[in-house]
Amino acid sequence: MRGLILGLCAALVAGPVLAADPCADWVPQPRPQNASRDIVGQDLDQIVERGFMTFAVYENNPPYSYEEGGQARGVDIEIARLIAADIGVEPRFNFVAAAEELQADLRNNVWQGPVVGGAVSNVMMRVPYDSAFACRVEQVVFTGQYASESIAIAYDAAKYPDEKPVPAYFRFDTVGVENDSIADFYLTSFAGGQVAAGVRRYPTMAAAMDALRRGEVMAAMGPLAQLEAGSAEGIGIHRPPLPGLAHASWTLGVAVHFSYRPLAYTVDDTIAAALADGRIARIYADYGLTLIPPER
C-alpha cells in the first residue's frame, strides 16, 4: 500500500492551501512519446468484442484485494466484478505490488506498463482522487469515485470504559500503526512529537490489529475499513477529530488511460448506478465494513 499512501501523504498531513482552481498553478508538461505499448484491447469496443477486461488491484491488501484459497476476494474485487458484469464481459485481475509513489503505480499499471514484464490494465482500482494531483497526471482519467476512506482509532473497550481515546492519549498509552502510513506520520509529528514514544509500528495494519486483540497495545490507528476488518469482541472503533490533519478522509475511485474516455465514462456510470441502488453498500456490508459515501 505504500504507493497509494505515500503519493498523497504529504498533502494529507500538511494540508497545502489550494487556489480556487486546483490547476491554476500547473503548466502542462510535454506528454511522453511512444509510451503506450499495450494498446490492443484497451478500447471499449475491443473489450466487449474479446469478452473480458483487466483490473489492476493491490496484492495482499485485505479487506480490499487479496487472494484466498486461490480465489480473488475483497471489496475492490467485488466492485470490479460488478463493473465487468454491467459491461457484459469477464473480469480478470492483475495483482500488483505498490511502488514508492502513486505516480509510479499509475505509470506501471495504466498508461505505460512496467519496465520488465507485466502489462497495463483497463482499469486500476482504489486510486485516491485529488483534483490538484489529477492536473499533474495528464495520461490518466480519474473517475468512478466509489467510496471514501477515513482515518479512525480502534481501542480496547475494557481499557477505555469512560472515554474513547484521542491522539493526545498516546503520550502515555500505546497505539499500533502500519509502518510509514498516514497514521504513523501523523502521530510521530503530532504536538511536536510528544506522542511518538507511544507509537508501535507493524508491517501491516492487520498485524497492528492482531497486536490490539492480543493486548500488546491499547489502541490502533489507521483506515476505518482495515480496523473494522481486524476487529473482534471487546474492540471499539471511532472517528475522532484529528487536529493538524488537513484531510482525515479521502475519496477513492478508478484510473483509466486518457485515450479511452468512453471506457472511463461507462465505468463511472456503472459505479454511480451501483451507489444509488445500494449494490456497493451491500458489498461493504458483506465484508463487515461500513461504506462511507464518496464525494462525486
Q: What is the pLDDT along the chain (296 residues), one digit of tens a residue?
A: 544 554 555 444 444 444 467 777 777 766 665 555 555 568 999 999 999 999 999 999 999 999 999 999 999 999 999 999 999 999 999 999 998 899 999 999 999 888 887 789 999 999 999 888 888 888 999 999 999 999 999 999 999 999 999 999 999 999 999 999 999 999 999 999 999 999 999 999 999 999 999 999 999 999 999 999 999 999 999 999 999 998 889 999 999 999 999 999 999 999 999 999 999 999 999 999 999 999 88
Per-residue confidence (pLDDT) for residue 22, from 0 to 100: 75
Domain of residue 124 covers: 2-14+41-148+249-286
Per-residue confidence (pLDDT) for residue 171, from 0 to 100: 95
Q: Evaluate whether residue 293 is within a structural domain.
A: no
Q: Which residue has the cell 498508461?
A: 111
Q: Evaluate whether residue 119 is within a structural domain.
A: yes
d(CA 103, CA 137): 7
d(CA 64, CA 58): 8
Q: Residues 95, 10: one domain?
A: yes
Q: Residues 102, 218: one domain?
A: no
Q: Please state whether the peptide bond connecting residue 63 to the residue before it is cis, i.e. omega within 30 degrees of 0.
A: yes
Q: Evaluate whether residue 35 is within a structural domain.
A: no
In this structure, how many other beta carbons lie within 10 angstroms of the beta carbon of residue 160?
A: 17
Q: Evaluate whether residue 59 is within a structural domain.
A: yes
d(CA 153, CA 164): 9
Letter for the amino acid at 169?
Y
- Phi/psi at 145 (5° precision): -60, 120
Q: Residues 113, 228: one domain?
A: no
Q: Residues 217, 274: one domain?
A: no
Per-residue confidence (pLDDT) for residue 222, from 0 to 100: 98
Q: Residues 104, 231: one domain?
A: no
Residue 15: its H or E element? none
C-alpha cell at 208: 497492528
d(CA 86, CA 109): 23
Per-residue confidence (pLDDT) for residue 41, from 0 to 100: 66
Q: Residues 181, 53: one domain?
A: no
CA distances 15 to 132, 136, 178, 181, 186, Å, are: 12, 17, 21, 16, 12
Residue 72: HSE in the Cβ half-sphere, 13 Å Cα cutoff: 20
* Residue 163 DSSP class: S
Q: Residues 268, 121: one domain?
A: yes
Q: Residues 175, 60: one domain?
A: no
CATH of the domain at 133: 3.40.190.10
Q: Residues 200, 272: one domain?
A: no
34 Rama sector, left if φ>0, alpha if ψ -120 to 50, beta otherwise? left
Q: Evaluate whether residue 105 is within a structural domain.
A: yes
d(CA 161, CA 83): 44
Q: Residues 9, 45: one domain?
A: yes
Q: Evaluate whether residue 294 is within a structural domain.
A: no
Per-residue confidence (pLDDT) for residue 5, from 0 to 100: 52
* Residue 292 DSSP class: B
Residue 224: HSE in the Cβ half-sphere, 13 Å Cα cutoff: 19
Q: Residues 7, 115: one domain?
A: yes
Q: Evaluate whether residue 33 is within a structural domain.
A: no
Number of domain units in the chain: 2
Per-residue confidence (pLDDT) for residue 15, from 0 to 100: 46
CA distances 16 to 3, 100, 132, 183, 247, Å, are: 20, 22, 11, 18, 10
Q: Residues 9, 98: one domain?
A: yes
